[in-house]
Structure 1
Amino acid sequence: MLKHRIAYLLICLSLLSLPAFAEGFSVTDAKGKVHNLSDYKGKWVLVNFWATWCPPCLEEIPDLIALHDAHKGKDLEVIGIAMDYQSPKYVVEFADSMFVTYPIVLGNSKIAAQIGSIQGLPTTYLFNPEGKMVAHNVGALTRKAVESYIAAKNKK
């Protein structure tokens, strides 16, 4: 419970340092599908930077899968961007072994620069249905924290 409150508080505090609007992004996932922020207008978009060697990243993957599966095709999309990897094949096999259902992008500094700075892994950015970056979090995130944040914003 305390962990969820801390994550929610971190998201809220991070709002103070965000730019007003994202420039938009275009990334291609490991299966060759292109994902543009503009393609998801009307939906929340969560972009998660992670690495296979990162314990907090691995801790949050089950919650990100559950979040993606619960909202896929409705009101929220999750995109994972793998950073600091030795081989694309390893990342794809690793994601498959973790039963990751959301798209995985093989990231690099150019891709990261489209979305935001990476101060540590995991780093997550949340865009509202209008494409505005509204929150970011450095550290592990939970499904409950994301859903609580979105529910609070949807009430306004």
Structure 2
Amino acid sequence: MRFRKGLMVLVLCVFLGVSSGYTSSLNFEYYTYKGAKHSLTNHRGKYVLLNLFASYCASCMIELNALNKISKVCPASKVQVVSLMVDKESGYLLPKLVNSKQLTYEVGLAPNNLNKIFPDFSKVPTTYLLNPEGKVIEKMIGFKSAGAFLNILNKYVSCN
């Protein structure tokens, strides 16, 4: 009987569109490729395009270039781009990667508790759009071009 009630609640939540998590603002700390400690709360008041990538992912490497373009097109006062590498064992590659791609936005290492912060994260690249209060408003799985990112961002803030 309990199983049946639990199942009914789950079905009702799915039917009503209740998401798992992300009802509150995200806040966590991470380290940039230069070793500086940052907090997601430092970007409150801005939309944050938060990209999770891996060094072994070819489409992630291409997407970093698209995100670099976005960081140059969107006003820094309204949009912050952040990319975090999820494969920690390759962390030593991060400075070389940033320099070789000439990335000019914030790039760092994902925190150790990434799966607790993003319980629905499973594939790279995945990018989350956070509103100025730090709540997830969009989730994008897989490669996106600069144009695709701009189309999504322009629903919320003007980047052109």
- Scaled to the shorter chain, the TM-score interval is 0.7 to 0.9
| Among candidates 110, 121, 125, match of residue 124 of structure 2 | 121
Provide closer, same or farther for how the CA distance between residues 151 and 16 of structure 1 changes in structure 2, counting only shifts above 3 A.
farther
Q: Which residue of 2 aligns with 1:93?
A: 96
Task: State the Cα deviation string for residues 20-65 of structure 1 (Å, max 9, x = none).
Answer: 3333222221223333222212210011111121011012111100
- Mapped to 1, the partners of 2:94 and 2:69 lie a distance apart of 20
Aligned to 2:11: none
Q: How far apart are 1:87 and its partner, in Å? A: 3.5
Name the residue aligned to 2:6.
Answer: none
Decide whether the 8 Å contact of 1:119 with 1:138 is kept in 2: no
Task: State the partner residue of 1:21.
Answer: 24
Are the structure 2 counterparts of residues 16 and 95 from structure 1 closer, same or farther at C-alpha, using a change threshold of 3 Å?
farther
Pick from 107, 110, 134: which aligns with 2:110?
Answer: 107
**Aligned: 1:70 with 2:73:** yes
| TM-score between the two structures when normalised by the length of structure 1 | 0.76
Match of 1:61 among 59, 64, 67: 64
Distance (whole Å) between structure 2 residues aligned to residue 73 and residue 54 of structure 1: 27
Please, which moves more after superposition, 26-35 or 146-155?
Answer: 146-155
> If the length of structure 2 is used for normalisation, what is the TM-score?
0.75
Unaligned runs of 5+ in 1: 1-14
Shift of 1:147: 2.2
User: Residue 136 of structure 1 aligns with which residue?
Assistant: 139
Bigger Rg over Cα: 2
